[in-house]
């Protein structure tokens, strides 16, 4: 990820794009031909298009929806920590864990799952667990890592050792927040558009949040390229139409995967085998968002301008798309059921 960030920064500089650090956006606005932001200093910046990529706490909702939605709990929270490898080097139960210094491993069980990792000089663990107070506030910035032990009691012994080795108060426990899928990511004049978590929050179990944010960028850039400066608003609407159904399906994978992990009853595996679950289907991983724009832009633009027929083909084949809510997903989780949909999600 660091290499990708460095490459992006280098290319941005090559293009001569102005980067302003410590410029905190407190509000968004638009006119018929311009979008803009207001900084905490009171300064205003305008452009042909403002791309709100400021995460789930984005203030852009006011200019798009007429209000700033408050995110709600998905029903789960995450305990996580990262610390120096030196703290576990002498632990005999963790020798195997340290053999592969660039590995990640997933462990699933009743009501929780853990992802562990070892890279370079650091180790990390991330535990997704049920939120005991889903309607309450986030906890203190630092918590006792031993709180995680209650969720993995009876699991593989080395996992408990990995957690116990975490420095005192060296973990964080935060809510996995959510906004219900909303079909409009652009302001009425099409001069402010949301991408990434500002438009669509993701659970870690989707394994798709960063991917979909990058796909947004590829799609929006291609739409603007085809639409040109004189058709910014139309290009933004086409981008929104091409992306919404696909992204909403990818969001749902976070809930589907989580339920499958937490509600699966394991039976003894055959010798040399272990249970596995495909986190991301081919419908997601094999998609080219830029090429999709080149193929669909004209049809989608005609649909927006003249209401001609149009159907997306970038979500699971055979799936009957419909809007869903986090409340519905939480009810399924409370019943201990898996989420089943029509279509090919493989």
Neighbours of 36 (CB within 10 A): 17
pLDDT digits (tens, 9 = 90+) for 330-343: 888 888 888 889 99
Exactly one of 80, 191, 243, 258 is catalytic; which is it? 80
Place of tokens 């990820």: 1
Domain ranges in the chain?
72-177, 202-265+275-346
Distances (CA, A) of 307 to 31, 156, 301, 302: 25, 57, 9, 7
Dihedral of the alpha carbons of 211, 216, 221, 223, in degrees to the nearest 10: 130
Spelled out in words, what is the top-level CATH class assigned to the domain 72-177?
A: alpha beta
Residue 330 annotated as catalytic: no
Neighbours of 314 (CB within 10 A): 20
Residue pair 342/318 in contact by the 8 Å Cβ criterion: yes
pLDDT digits (tens, 9 = 90+) for 206-242: 889 999 999 999 999 999 999 999 999 999 999 999 9
d(CA 95, CA 114): 19
Angle separating helix axes 289-306 and 209-227, nearest 10 degrees: 60
Place of tokens 């298009």: 49
**3-state SS assignment for residue 90:** coil
The pTM of the whole model exceeds 0.75: yes
What pLDDT, on the 0 to 100 scale, is given for residue 332? 87
The residues that bridge with 109 in the sheet, in sequence order, are: 112
What mean pLDDT do residues 147-166 have? 94
């Amino acid at each position: 990820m660091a290499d990708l960030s460095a490459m992006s920064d280098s290319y941005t500089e090559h293009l001569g794009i102005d980067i302003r650090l410590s410029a905190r956006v407190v509000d968004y606005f638009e006119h018929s031909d311009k979008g803009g932001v207001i900084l905490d200093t009171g300064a205003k910046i305008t452009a042909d298009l403002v791309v709100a990529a400021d995460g789930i706490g984005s203030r852009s909702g006011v200019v798009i929806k007429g209000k700033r939605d408050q995110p709600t709990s998905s029903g789960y929270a995450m305990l996580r920590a990262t610390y120096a490898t030196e703290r576990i080097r002498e632990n005999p139960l963790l020798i195997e864990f340290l053999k592969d210094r660039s590995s990640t491993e997933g462990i699933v069980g009743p009501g929780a799952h853990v992802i562990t990792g070892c890279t370079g000089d650091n180790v990390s663990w991330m535990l997704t667990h049920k939120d005991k107070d889903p309607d309450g506030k986030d906890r203190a910035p630092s918590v006792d890592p031993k709180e995680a032990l209650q969720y993995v009691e009876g699991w593989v012994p080395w996992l408990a050792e990995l957690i116990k080795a975490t420095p005192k108060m060296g973990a964080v426990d935060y809510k996995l927040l959510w906004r219900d899928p909303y079909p409009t990511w652009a302001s009425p004049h099409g001069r402010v558009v949301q991408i990434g978590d500002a438009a669509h929050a993701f659970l870690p179990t989707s394994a798709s949040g960063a991917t979909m944010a990058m796909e947004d960028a590829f799609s929006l850039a291609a739409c603007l390229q085809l639409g040109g400066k004189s058709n910014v608003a139309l290009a933004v609407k086409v981008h929104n139409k091409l992306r919404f159904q696909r992204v909403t399906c990818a969001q749902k994978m976070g809930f589907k995967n989580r339920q499958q992990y937490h509600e699966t009853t394991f039976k003894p595996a055959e010798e040399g085998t272990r249970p596995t679950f495909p986190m991301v289907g081919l419908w997601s991983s094999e998609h080219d968002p830029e090429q999709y724009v080149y193929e669909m832009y004209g049809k989608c633009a005609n649909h927006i301008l003249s209401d001609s027929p149009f159907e997306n083909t970038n979500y699971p084949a055979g799936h009957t798309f419909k809007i869903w809510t986090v409340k519905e997903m939480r009810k399924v989780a409370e019943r201990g059921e898996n989420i089943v949909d029509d279509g090919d999600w493989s």
